[in-house]
Amino acid sequence: MHARAIGTGAALRSCVAVLTAAVFAGACTGEDPDAGPSDFAVRGTALGVLVPVGLELRLGDDVERLSVARDGTFAFETRLEPGASYAVALADPAMPCVLRDQAGTIERADTAIELTCTGASLASVVVSGIAPTITLVPGTTDYVVELPLSQPAVTLTATVATDGDTLAIAGTPMSSGASSVPFALRLGDTPVDIVVENDLGWQRTYRLTLRRAAALAQYARGKASDAEDGDELGWSVALSGDTLAVGAPEEDGAATGVDGDQPGKSVPASGAVYVFRRAGTVWQQEAYLKASNTGPGDHFGWSVTLSGDTLAVGATGEDSAAQGAGGNQASDAAADSGAVYVFRRIGAAWQQEAYLKASNTGAGDGFGSEVALSGDTLAVGATGEDSAAQGAGGDQASAAAPDSGAVYVFQRAGTAWQQQAYLKPSNTGAGDSFGIDVALAGDMLAVGADQEDSAATGVGGDQDDDRALDSGAVYVFQRAGTVWQQEVYLKASSTGPSSFFGRSVALSGDTLAIGSHGESDAIGGPSGDPARATGAVYVFRRAGTAWQQEAYLEASNADIADLFGWSVALSGDTLAVTAPGEDSAATGLDGEQSDSAAADSGAVYLFH
């Protein structure tokens, strides 16, 4: 391509432009090749282009035209010297496209214009039944939807992003927001195409692969590569996509770091974490992880959390007196203070990225009793922390409330982690175990304190009424910028002693599930009767900044000491609840619930 000078007084040069894989560089006649570039390209990136989009570079009375035919980078031929002004516009303003950063002054760098076209696209698509929420990503048109065996058919509801656009689902024209006819699902994959078209003739095809599981049952059984008696493999688990991390806090290996010598069993209860990865339907072990300062009784793997290629591991029995990130791991002056280790995967290789301690490390604090990751944010519970502080950023040195508990929030920038917040409840009390469980979703953090004693009920009750011993509470914090503050104080709607409300928490978007495994209302007993402990789960929903209880859930076969709500997991509109004390001898899916021939065999209940 040959550029041309298109104006006077605009500080232009006539150049030969060369497009490489990453840059648009110019070589001008008579220019010293060793002097560096003296003029720059008007360039940018395009997203959502389905048919050629005309752009115009306007410089005074002169115009250079460019046709952008596909997503990716684009650049005009004309080069501009520093100080020159530029403006780019759509040749056809009716095109369903917008420009960003399209005008300005050259400042010794190429421009970074953004061209985004939104025509003929979907705003949302919803699959009926037990299905995950589909998050549409600009530029992505293929999506896989995992569905259970128990769902033989679904309907699809698609909504266009631009009024007036039309759509067809599997070849049948549909109104935006209307449900399709039911699609029968075979085992495995059922592809369905959704075609969106606008009045300019643009078409975009979205493909949904509806994947119905061949069985809603166990299809893989994982064991450690060095399985031994007493390792307690499975004490903690975390799943993210096709990666599974499993903690074994009683493992005795003497190795340190990644994939060390597994047969060595000379460090009792040092702990380990095993990482498994799935390819298709086959799981295999990818890594064997140990602490960088393996020590007896450290219980590395007491808690685990995964987010993409990042894994955080709690070791509640670690003894270093270090504080913050990257301290002295060899100091053993604070017994059972606890530590958290962050690992990152690059390709298929794992490596330790950070060693984290509390900002007020103390013996017996159990830092790492629970961990939660969301992107580059990590929340760490320390149920044995003793400060009497309240709220965010209080006096960490106070030790007037033994075992009240605390939560520490860390943030990653690049590969560097640092503490962002030190959080305490609004009614700190000795023995409350604040941080027994934590759940993190973006800028929202839920913290359980299952031994809090208030007799309040519902949302925002009287925090200082301590007439319900170990009834439990949950505190929700919200982040604005880098500042965290408590948003709400939650209690059960039927608060009773020894209910342990908050022993488990799970967040998904604006929905919060809270386990109360000691509750006994389900079979008519007094709330919180420890001899009964059938258990319950409460679901809360947030609208704006207001929280309200949305559901109260019990087991379909509630019985004494089932401990329903011991742990909870939430994804979109699907909730899983464990009951480790349930007694049925049934096997597999939907067996006979009333058969109580297998004491404490346990069960999992799915709600939608």
- CA atoms of 303 and 277, how far apart (whole Å): 19
Q: Tell me how many helices (H) and strands (E) the chain has.
A: 0, 43
Look at 207-216, 227-236, 246-255, 470-479 and tell me which has the smallest mean pLDDT: 227-236
581 or 389, higher pLDDT = 389
pLDDT at 331 over 70: yes
Cβ count near 603 (within 10 Å): 20
Percent of the chain topping pLDDT 70: 87
Backbone angles phi, psi at 401, to 5 degrees: -130, 80
Q: Do β-strands 203-212 and 142-147 pair in parallel, antiparallel, or remain unpaired? A: parallel
Q: According to the model, what pLDDT value does residue 199 have? A: 81
What local confidence, expressed as pLDDT, does residue 7 receive? 36
Q: What pLDDT is recorded for position 149?
A: 64
Three-state secondary structure readout of 455-513:
CCCCECCCCCCCCCCCCCEEEEEEEECCEEEEEEEECCCCCCCCCCEEEEEEEECCEEE
Poorest-confidence range of 20-29, 161-170, 214-223?
20-29
Of 290-294, 466-470, 592-596, the poorest mean pLDDT is in 592-596
Give the lowest-confidence range in 212-216, 327-331, 401-405, 431-435. Answer: 212-216
Mean pLDDT (whole number) for 394-421: 94
- Whether residue 172 is predicted with pLDDT greater than 80 in this model: the reply is yes
Dihedral angle at the C-alpha atoms of 456, 458, 462, 466, nearest 10 degrees? 20
Mean pLDDT of the chain: 85
Cα–Cα distance, 250 to 256 (Å, whole number): 15
- Banded model confidence at residue 50, pLDDT cuts 50, 70, 90: confident
For position 201, what pLDDT does the model report?
A: 79
Say how far apart CA 286 and CA 259 lie, in whole Å: 9
pLDDT tens across 410-440, in order?
999 999 999 999 999 999 999 999 999 999 9
- Give the mean model confidence (pLDDT) for residues 110-125: 89
Q: How many CB atoms lie within 10 A of CB 596?
A: 14
Confidence label for 395 from pLDDT (cuts 50, 70 and 90): very high
Locate tokens 């629970």: which residue? Answer: 370
Q: What are the tokens at 184?
A: 């029968």
Residue 29: pLDDT above 60?
A: no
Torsion angles phi and psi, residue 521, rounded to 5: -65, -25
Mean pLDDT of 378-384: 97
Lowest mean pLDDT among 20-29, 150-159, 486-495, 581-590: 20-29
- Gap between the Cα atoms of 54 and 49, Å rounded: 11
pLDDT digits (tens, 9 = 90+) for 265-310: 789 999 999 999 888 877 888 999 999 999 999 999 999 999 999 9
Nearest-angstrom CA–CA distance, 302 and 367? 11
Residue 38: partners with Cβ closer than 8 Å, 6 or more residues away? 13, 28, 31, 81
pLDDT band per the 50, 70, 90 thresholds, residue 137: confident
Q: What confidence score (pLDDT) does residue 524 get?
A: 46
Q: What is the pLDDT of residue 11?
A: 36
**pLDDT score for 232:** 61
Per-residue pLDDT averaged across 387-399, rounded?
Answer: 92
Which overall architecture, per CATH, does domain 12-117 show?
Sandwich (2.60)
pLDDT of residue 477: 97
3-state secondary structure of 521: helix
- Residue 45: its pLDDT value, please? 95
CA-to-CA dists, residue 265 to 227, 252, 261, angstroms: 11, 5, 10
Q: Would you say residue 530 has pLDDT above 80? A: no
For the chain, give every residue range classified as CATH 2.60.40: 12-117, 122-212
pLDDT of residue 465: 86
Q: Which residue has better confidence, 226 or 406?
A: 406
Which amino acid type is present at position 253? Answer: G
If DSSP codes are grouped into helix, strand and coil, which group holds residue 71? Answer: coil
What is the C-alpha to C-alpha distance for residues 372 and 436, in angstroms, rounded to an integer? 12
Whether 1 and 77 have beta carbons less than 8 Å apart is answered as: yes
For 221-255, how does the pLDDT look when each residue is reduced to its tens digit (9 = 90+)? 344 444 444 556 778 899 888 899 999 898 999 99
- DSSP 8-state class, residue 329: T
Rg (CA), the chain: 29
Looking at residue 266, what is its pLDDT? 86
Q: What string of DSSP letters covers 399-465? A: --STT--EEEEEEEETTEEEEEEEE--TT--TT--EEEEEEEETTEEEEEETT------SBS--TT-
* pLDDT tens column, 565-588: 999 999 888 899 998 888 888 777
Q: Which residue matches tokens 């048109």?
A: 141
pTM, two decimal places: 0.64
Q: Which SS3 state, helix, strand or coil, does residue 284 take?
A: strand
Q: What is the pLDDT of residue 264?
A: 66
Task: Tell me if 431 sits within 8 A of 411, measured CB to CB.
Answer: no
Query: Coil, helix or strand for 117?
Result: strand
Tokens standing for residue 165: 């656009």
From CA 37, how far away is CA 18, in angstroms rounded? 13
Task: Fold for 122-212, please state it.
Answer: Immunoglobulin-like (2.60.40)
pLDDT at 108 over 80: yes
Q: Distance between CA 559 and CA 561 in Å, rounded?
A: 6
Residue 38 per-residue DSSP state: S
- In whole angstroms, what is the distance from residue 507 CA to residue 531 CA? 30
User: What average pLDDT does this structure show over 156-184?
Assistant: 91
List pLDDT tens digits, range 484-517: 999 999 999 989 899 999 999 999 999 999 999 9
Pick the more confident residue, 507 or 599: 507
**pLDDT tens, 532-560?**
678 999 999 998 889 999 999 998 888 88
Q: Could you give the 3-state DSSP secondary structure of residue 517? A: coil
